[in-house]
Amino acid sequence: MRPAFGILLLAAAAAVTLLASPLIGVEPIPLVTLLDPRGTEPAAVILWQIRLPRVLAAFVAGAGLAAGGAAFQAVFRNPLATPYTLGVASGAACGVALVSRFGIGLAAAHLPLNTLAALAGAFVAVATVWSLTRLRPQASSTVLLLAGVAMTFLFSSLILFLQYTSSLGSSYRIVRWLMGGLAAVDLTALGHMLPFVLAGLVALAWNVRELDLLATGSDLAASRGVDVVRTRDVIFFATSLMVGGIVAACGPIGFVGMMAPHICRLLVGAEHRRLLPASMLFGGAFLAACDTVARLVISPAELPVGVITSFLGAPFFLWLLLRRSGPGEV
């Protein structure tokens, strides 16, 4: 398939998803509501104040997660590398668990405490893995990935400890947060997430040539003129911050970051000037669609969207891996 056609296809799919998702739901939306964004009848409020922000948030989160996954897969030259594999999500979760366990009294301070805790946790995870790259500059990307996996286990055990020793109520809050979901995402949450995502995307777009070269190996990239250490640091922190912001708003939503870049590489190739926009379109549309499914599948109740992304994503991804044995894989 020609790359330009692949991008067009993805853009069309994303447009359809963005337009259709807000109209689909338990409460039917009469089409006249579309003409009146400031309407006060229930259908207008549901469409314009609940569903639309939520669909947009899902799209932004999915786009950011997918772009972050593509960037980490290039920097670490490993198809399994995503900010999640390096412990960002588990670090964020650990932060939230800590707050839920001990921070009840502070919640009155009108701070988005969960958001801050998640960001702090993500930062601790990233800073740890990053300092490993500094202590052992020769360490291979495999070593870093394993370090990330070790961090994930460490955080998981801390989360289990906090959960085990906390009250039933806060234990439930922790579990619920860990499932990831967009039910509570409104315009404010979207506003919290957007600066992180925009900053991350700008940093990735800024380094789009460098991402290509880093994917060929750090020695080769350096010999072609890339300042590898500086570039890797910028990409590493910008991506982690972006994903930290998303996780803080939506909880850890699995699989989008790993799967979207893989599928898009098959559609548009591995050059990041095409792969990044394609992954964003795919990841955004995929998460928005999954969130719509999550709203419907056990309606009137809702499933956490993380359940859907992994449930739909994993089998599809396995099928994709087994189907392709030809060239062009990563």
Partner 1 sequence: MRPPALAVEGLRVVYGGREVLHGVDLEVPPGQLLAVVGPNGAGKSTLMRALTGLVPAAAGRVTVDGRPLARLSRRELARSVGYVPQADGRSLPFSVRSFVEMGRYPHLGRWGSLQAADLEAVGWALEVTGTAHLSDRALDTLSGGERQLVSIAAALAQGASTLLLDEPTSFLDYRHQVEVGALLERLHVEPGLTIVTVSHDLNTSLAAADAVLALREGRVAFHGPPRDILEPATLEAIYDVELRLATWPGCDLPLVLPRTGGR
In the complex, which residues of this chain contact partner 1 (CB under 8 A)? 77, 138, 206, 209, 212-213, 215-217, 219-220, 222-228, 265, 269-271, 327-330
Record the tokens describing residue 51, joined without a space: 């569903």
Q: Answer whether 85's CB lies under 8 Å from 243's CB.
A: no
In terms of CB distance, is 26 or 230 closer to partner 1? 230
Rounded to the nearest 10°, the torsion over CA 72, 76, 77, 82 is -40
Query: Minimal distance in Å, beta carbon 157 to partner 1?
Result: 33
Query: Minimal distance in Å, beta carbon 265 to partner 1?
Result: 6
DSSP state of 16: H
C-alpha radius of gyration, the chain, whole number? 20
Give Cα 203 distance to the centre of its chain.
16
Query: Minimal distance in Å, beta carbon 203 to partner 1?
Result: 12
In terms of CB distance, is 157 or 224 closer to partner 1? 224
Query: Minimal distance in Å, beta carbon 206 to partner 1?
Result: 7
In terms of CB distance, is 300 or 327 closer to partner 1? 327
Place of tokens 């960002």: 88
Query: Minimal distance in Å, beta carbon 100 to partner 1?
Result: 42
Q: Answer whether 328's CB lies under 8 Å from 266's CB.
A: yes
Q: Answer whether 21's CB lies under 8 Å from 288's CB.
A: yes
Residue 306's nearest CA partner among 91, 131, 89 is: 89
How far apart CA 46 and CA 23 sit, in angstroms, is: 10
In terms of CB distance, is 15 or 321 closer to partner 1? 321
Query: Minimal distance in Å, beta carbon 32 to partner 1?
Result: 45
In terms of CB distance, is 250 or 278 closer to partner 1? 278
In terms of CB distance, is 25 or 79 closer to partner 1? 79
